[in-house]
Amino acid sequence: MRAREDALFDQVFQDAAAAEKGPLAGAELYERRGWQVEVTEGDDGITITDASETGFALRLFRGGRTGFSAAGPDGARHLVSQAAALVPRGRSRRGFRAASPLHGEARERTPLVDPPFPDEERILETIVAFRRDVGVAGKGAVALREVSVQAGERRERIATTGGREASWESAAASIVATVAGRSSAGRFSARVVAVAARLEELPLARLARHAADRVLLPLTGQPAPGGKADLLLDPHVAARLVGRLAPLFFGDSEERLLFARTRGGRDLLTSPVLTIVDSASAPGGPVRAARDGEGTPTQRTIVLERGRVVGRLTDTATALRTEGPATGNAIRAAWHTPPELGSTNFFIDPSGGLSPVDLLSSVRRGVYAAVLLERPEVDLAADQFRLMTAGYAIEQGRAAAKLSEIPIAGRLSELLRMVSGTGDDLKFVMSSRGGAGSPTLLVPRWKLS
């Protein structure tokens, strides 16, 4: 506990409450404290970074307008005046107001407990383990140029003039590695990333195999022949595409687009084998949080069930506008940015999926897209996507020749409607908007560009 920060929190909250009174006015004060330790080991030696974070963020609400300001403890006393000056510059929008207390929850404010310091020994052990895994996966042809492992612990709390009082904790760990592959055909390097809620949950062996494929396939394979072929998308590839679908389900923002794509809900958005879920407690998901950035408890929200749109992700403002419950999807990317509607772990539900081996066996002639070589291009409005991948040819249910380039592009809706099978091997990647996950996907007779 830190008395200075606790007193500051109370003081700023009192000032904000005094400044914003009335039926259409209110305030929300947020505080975050955290520790982060990162160890980077590379050709140029080892770097240890030990960083603390402490910050306050205030949102004032007045007549549907908001003003947001954020500062560390040194600048916290200016928050109310700064946010108050910004309120009139905003545009009035229905739903902007201080969150109310949650049913059955206490309205007492408790001091924020300092988070524990991350375990540095474990970070070093993780690096050693990953180095070993890369050696095994790369069979001597892959060099680890640099690896960074980060672990962080965080405590957060929120108080609103509407009566909400909540505090919660979260943790995150990540590994970022730069690997280089060499063969007689040349060199290739790539950066690979894995994120998890805890250090021990980082998928080290899987990331090492992925890293080896990422740098060796482009060097050792041949470009995929064009024409129609059954397409097997590795979870790493499919998940990146799934993550880009999330904005379709953000509150009421894409209502018109969804309406047009499904002819007013009469058609399915995707193949009936697909069910898409957002959950901040999904096993293996990189995001794990009991509450969102507005203090709303997170939940499992089904947005697409057997191809049909059934739900939306909401924060308190969009919940009011769409007249549904808040699903706990107000995301604070950092303590100093306003909460925004976003996803937590957004993934294709693998329930009822087949094992990836069974999916592979079902393919007579096709391709297995194992890794992404470039960031995916997805244009939701134009219904277009483009993935540059590498992988393997599939012949009679078995992986055959290595393929250095498999370009997959076309209409996104067509791809999603053609998915005929899913695996049971759900894997997550970190997307720009949170975790994104998918099992292996089978798309029959897709025309490769």
Q: Are 309 and 258 in contact (CB under 8 A)?
A: yes
Nearest by Cα to 142 from 202, 212, 75: 212
For another protein, which residue of 6, 10, 53, 169 counts as binding (CB under 8 A)?
A: 53
Q: Are 115 and 169 in contact (CB under 8 A)?
A: yes
Q: Which is nearer to another protein, 55 or 421 (CB)?
A: 55
Site pattern 211..230 for another protein (x: CB under 8 A): -------x------------
Query: Which among 158-166, 268-276, 355-363, 373-381 is the span making contact with another protein, rule CB under 8 A?
Result: 373-381
CA–CA separation, 362 and 441 (whole Å): 12
Angle at 384 between CA 414 and CA 438, to 5 degrees: 65
Structure tokens at 412: 């996104």
Number of residues that bind another protein (CB under 8 A): 67
> Which 3 state secondary structure label does DSSP give 242?
helix
For another protein, which residue of 26, 55, 423, 434 counts as binding (CB under 8 A)?
A: 55
Nearest by Cα to 388 from 449, 431, 439: 449
In the complex, the smallest distance separating the C-beta of residue 383 from another protein, rounded to whole angstroms, is 8
For another protein, which residue of 14, 52, 351, 355 counts as binding (CB under 8 A)?
A: 52
Kindly give the residue spans of alpha helices, DSSP state H, lying in 151-254. Answer: 204-220, 235-245
Q: Which is nearer to another protein, 348 or 403 (CB)?
A: 403
- Give the type of residue at 385: F
In the complex, the smallest distance separating the C-beta of residue 59 from another protein, rounded to whole angstroms, is 9
Considering only residues 82 through 141, tell me which ones interact with another protein, judged by CB under 8 A.
Answer: 82-83, 85-86, 89-91, 93
In the complex, the smallest distance separating the C-beta of residue 134 from another protein, rounded to whole angstroms, is 16
> Which 3 state secondary structure label does DSSP give 300?
strand
Query: Which among 39-47, 274-282, 315-323, 354-362 is the span making contact with another protein, rule CB under 8 A?
Result: 39-47
Q: Which is nearer to another protein, 328 or 339 (CB)?
A: 339
The helix (run of H) or strand (run of E) holding residue 173 is: strand 165-183
Nearest by Cα to 126 from 199, 77, 192, 71: 199
In the complex, the smallest distance separating the C-beta of residue 294 from another protein, rounded to whole angstroms, is 15
In the complex, the smallest distance separating the C-beta of residue 83 from another protein, rounded to whole angstroms, is 7
> Computed from CA positions of residues 334, 328, 234, 198, in that sequence, does the dihedral angle turn out positive or negative?
positive
In the complex, the smallest distance separating the C-beta of residue 245 from another protein, rounded to whole angstroms, is 14
Does residue 300 bind another protein (CB under 8 A)?
no
Site pattern 164..203 for another protein (x: CB under 8 A): ------------x-x-x-----xxxxxx------------
Query: Which among 105-113, 273-281, 307-315, 372-380 is the span making contact with another protein, rule CB under 8 A?
Result: 372-380
A 10 A CB-CB count for 449 gives 11
Beta strands 345-348; 434-438: pairing state? parallel
CA–CA separation, 248 and 6 (whole Å): 39
Long-range contacts of 378-382 (CB under 8 A, 24+ apart): 378/241, 378/244, 378/412, 380/244, 380/245, 380/247, 380/248, 380/254, 380/257, 380/412, 381/257
Does residue 64 bind another protein (CB under 8 A)?
no
In the complex, the smallest distance separating the C-beta of residue 66 from another protein, rounded to whole angstroms, is 5
Q: Which is nearer to another protein, 53 or 165 (CB)?
A: 53
Site pattern 243..282 for another protein (x: CB under 8 A): ----------------------------------------
Phi-psi category of residue 95: left, alpha or beta, with phi > 0 → left and psi -120 to 50 → alpha: left
Q: Which is nearer to another protein, 86 or 258 (CB)?
A: 86
In the complex, the smallest distance separating the C-beta of residue 379 from another protein, rounded to whole angstroms, is 5
Which stretches of the chain bind another protein, using CB under 8 A?
A: 36, 40, 42-55, 65-75, 78, 81-83, 85-86, 89-91, 93, 145, 176, 178, 180, 186-191, 218, 336-338, 374-375, 377, 379-386, 407, 409-410, 447, 449
